[in-house]
Amino acid sequence: MNSKYFLKYFVILIEINKLYVDLTSIKFKMMRKIKYLLGLGLIAGLLFFTNCKDDDPVTDLTAQQLQAQTMKGTWTIVSATVPEGVNPTILNGTTMAFNSDDNYTPTSFTSNGAPDYFNVDPAPGGWDFVGESTTAVSLTNVGPVSEFNINNLTGTTMEITFSHPGLRISDLGGVYTANLTK
């Protein structure tokens, strides 16, 4: 073999070896970066999911809590069926406000516009369901009407029936049905 060719062959081998070393080095560096990024992503994911917890446990509401949730707010009487001889618009515009706590347990009750029916004294009055009922409501510190029945209730309309005892004003005694809106 000629030394001239041998030297060229040797130089070519050295160049190929350098190219191989460079390619291996690049591949090694890329793999190291990929491993670093995957590790970083894994740590970030673990931190994200370990900090997420269920702060608001889901609880099923009772029928009374659901009813109180719907009733909560201020309602206005828009029409009423009244006993014979009573002015049919006597209750129109009367407001009734039902409040409840964060667990939808009935708390306070206020009324405005019909003191001969729903006089709150001392204020505020209170309200609650009678026993396990979701339609029979008892009012405390309210008179002369101190209870009523819910005939129909949606998110924005309610129909109630109550009896006025006619104690102070006998002309008002009898059964009433009132339609309220929220």
At 2, phi and psi to the nearest 5? -80, 140
What is the pLDDT confidence band of residue 45, given thresholds at 50, 70 and 90?
low
Q: 110 or 12: whose pLDDT is higher?
A: 110
pLDDT (tens digit per residue) in 56-103:
555 789 999 999 999 999 999 999 999 999 999 999 999 999 999 999
Instruction: Report the 10 Å Cβ neighbour count for 177.
Output: 15
Give me the CATH topology for the region 63-181. Answer: Lipocalin (2.40.128)
pLDDT (tens digit per residue) in 107-148:
999 999 999 999 999 888 999 999 999 999 999 999 999 999
Domain boundaries, given as residue ranges, for the chain: 1-53, 63-181
Average confidence score pLDDT of the chain: 85
- Check if the beta carbon of residue 155 is closer than 8 Å to that of residue 143: no
What is the pLDDT confidence band of residue 46, given thresholds at 50, 70 and 90?
low
To the nearest whole percent, how much of the chain has pLDDT over 70? 68
Q: Which of 163, 162, 161, 155 is nearest to 181 (CA)?
A: 155
- Check if the beta carbon of residue 129 is closer than 8 Å to that of residue 138: yes
Q: What is the pLDDT of residue 50?
A: 66
Q: Which of 118, 80, 78, 122 is nearest to 98 (CA)?
A: 118
- 3-class secondary-structure state, position 167: coil
| Pairing between β-strand 95-100 and β-strand 118-120 as defined by DSSP bridges | unpaired
